[in-house]
């Protein structure tokens, strides 16, 4: 075997401990990564979820809304989990409340139709 591989030279110094979980730099980096993830990813997402939950819970009959699909309509009926939306002349569609993207100011649909 020594024909292909040269003989290994024995180490004279004791091996040093590799950086690991006990290293203070490693702990500081882990805490920093968690803080970064919390403040730039987790916290803003939770804020958006709370805002959307408040929007969905405040839906009432007569609100003009935009759905996530881009559909505009006026709420005709509100249930616990569903809304019935009038999208045109006597055209009513039923959607889940979570599909509501935004509530529009009153009269927005009529101003769009006039254009």
The ranges assigned to domains in the chain are 22-58, 60-114
Please give the pLDDT value at position 15.
59
The pLDDT of 87-91, averaged and rounded, is: 90
The two three-digit tokens of residue 106, written as one number: 């009153």
Q: Locate the DSSP E strands across the chain.
A: 64-67, 72-78, 82-88, 91-96, 100-104
Higher pLDDT, 4 or 43: 43
DSSP state of 22: T
The two three-digit tokens of residue 73, written as one number: 């309509």
pLDDT classification of 112: cutoffs 50, 70, 90: confident
Is residue 11 predicted with pLDDT exceeding 60? no
**Alpha carbon of residue 24 to chain centroid:** 33
Is residue 55 predicted with pLDDT exceeding 90? yes
**Alpha carbon of residue 92 to chain centroid:** 30
Domain 60-114 falls in which CATH fold? Answer: SH3 type barrels. (2.30.30)
């Amino acid at each position: 075997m020594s024909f292909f591989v040269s003989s290994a030279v024995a180490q004279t110094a004791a091996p040093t401990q590799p950086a690991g979980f006990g290293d203070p730099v490693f702990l500081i980096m882990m805490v920093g990564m968690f803080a970064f993830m919390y403040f730039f990813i987790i916290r803003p997402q939770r804020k958006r979820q709370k805002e959307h939950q408040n929007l969905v819970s405040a839906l009432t009959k007569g609100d003009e809304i935009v759905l996530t699909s881009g559909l505009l309509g006026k709420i005709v009926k509100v249930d616990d989990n569903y809304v019935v939306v009038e999208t045109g002349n006597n055209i009513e569609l039923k959607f889940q409340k979570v599909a509501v993207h935004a509530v529009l100011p009153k009269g927005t649909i009529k101003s769009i139709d006039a254009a």
